Chains A and B, each alone.
Chain A
Amino acid sequence: MSLVPVTLLGLLEREPSHGYDLKRDYDALFGRSRPLPFGQVYATLARLARDGKVVVGPTEPGAGPDRKRYAITDDGVAEVEAWLAETVEPEPHLQTILFAKVTLALVLGRPAERYLDAQRAAHLQRMRVLTEMRRTGSTVDALLADYGLFHLEADLRWIDITAARLQPLSEEVRG
């Protein structure tokens, strides 16, 4: 199951909720710079209802276009539980764009080191933004920033080791 439906289900496991409140909670916890469009919230809830993961209560009186309250079903709870227990595929990333750029640059006799330097600068710029976010934000912000920082750091280590190995790599790929 993809991220948006299962996180909305997870939010409903806490307590039944309206679409508007679900969107607000999703944006605060998971959305960050990419808030969930209302249309997607209601389309997702409709699919979850069709699949028996949520039930829709009657329309309630009050302000706003949609006052339906959604509640999770036993099937929905099982879905959340199964998703949480499932490990994420550790991706080997053996054919990244950066790998392809370096290899192609070397094959063509172009300055691979310059591309790596530019990429290092771009990575560090992103790390600065995330570091500022972890400095000034909440603990949730810090955890999210840390996830990005550790992945960027791994990329940078690969960039550094590749930069140090460009000569033998060049000899290898150019035959």
Chain B
Amino acid sequence: MTGARPPARPDGATPLLAARDVVKSFGPTPALRGASLAVAAGEIVAVMGPSGSGKSTLLHCLAGILTPDRGEVWFGARRLDTMGEAERSALRRERFGFVFQSGQLVPELTAEENVALPLLLGGVRRSAALEEARAWFERLDLKGLEARRSGELSGGQAQRVALARALVGRPQVVFADEPTGSLDSLSGEHVMELLVAASREQGTTVVLVTHDARVAAYAEREVVVRDGTVTALLDQAAPDRAARS
């Protein structure tokens, strides 16, 4: 089913982000076989599923990193799947933030330059970008680490720097793909605490891919991707955020 409007959520609201019957293959290997998902503005959703189920591919399609073979991807009232690469790239830079499992910091740059990077790429003056970046260091328990390079940070510190970089441009959506996958339990929980606190404060939507139930429990709801489709049973309406904050 296709349409000129984004799909409605089960609660009738227009989603901020949505996939409708998305199909994506890599060569002969199907990754998504008609995946649909609708995410409300400000919602924190965990995408779970076994390895190879297609959950990361779904995140990449929602974020406009991958173009689906068939189906639709919506961001507000705009279709990502039919957008040109330049427009999608601008959207990713201006509206989206990304946190991946590891190895995402630029090793030649200091921690504060890494955090300032999205602002610099968006044309913000260097001094203003660095000032904005530094404000995140205290907030994410990174004070004193501004001048360090990624090789001089622990795994948990590097991941919090990556989180600061994802949030510094005040994106509408943060896509996090196994953001705690390379961390021990306590460091992972610290990263999740900060991500959830910052997103609730700023009203940021978070799409969180994880195989870890303890990480998924930070989200407000979860969906399960299995064999390239989203299990509808768990794609329930978002609970009242106010009741949980």
Contact = CB atoms under 8 A, between A and B. Distances in A.
B213 A127 contact: yes
B233 A121 contact: yes
B69 to A, nearest CB: 27
A118 B234 CA distance: 8
Interface stretch (A31-39, A88-96, A99-107, A128-136): A128-136
B122 interface: no
Nearest to B46: A124
A153 B50 contact: no
Interface residues of B, number: 16
A152 B213 contact: yes
Contacts of A117: 224, 231, 233-234
Interface string B186-228: 0000000100100000000000000001101111101010000
B244 interface: yes
Contacts of B224: 117, 120
- Most chain A CB within a 10 A radius of its CB, from B50, B214, B231, B234: B214
Interface string A121-158: 10110011011100100000000000001001100100
Nearest to A132: B244
A145 B72 CA distance: 40
A149 B212 CA distance: 12
A160 B50 contact: yes
B173 to A, nearest CB: 21
Nearest to B216: A124
Contacts of A131: 214, 217-218
Interface of A: 114, 117-118, 120-121, 123-124, 127-128, 130-132, 135, 149, 152-153, 156, 160, 164
Interface of B: 50, 193, 196, 213-214, 216-220, 222, 224, 231, 233-234, 244
7 contacts: A117-B224, A118-B233, A121-B234, A124-B213, A128-B219, A131-B218, A153-B213
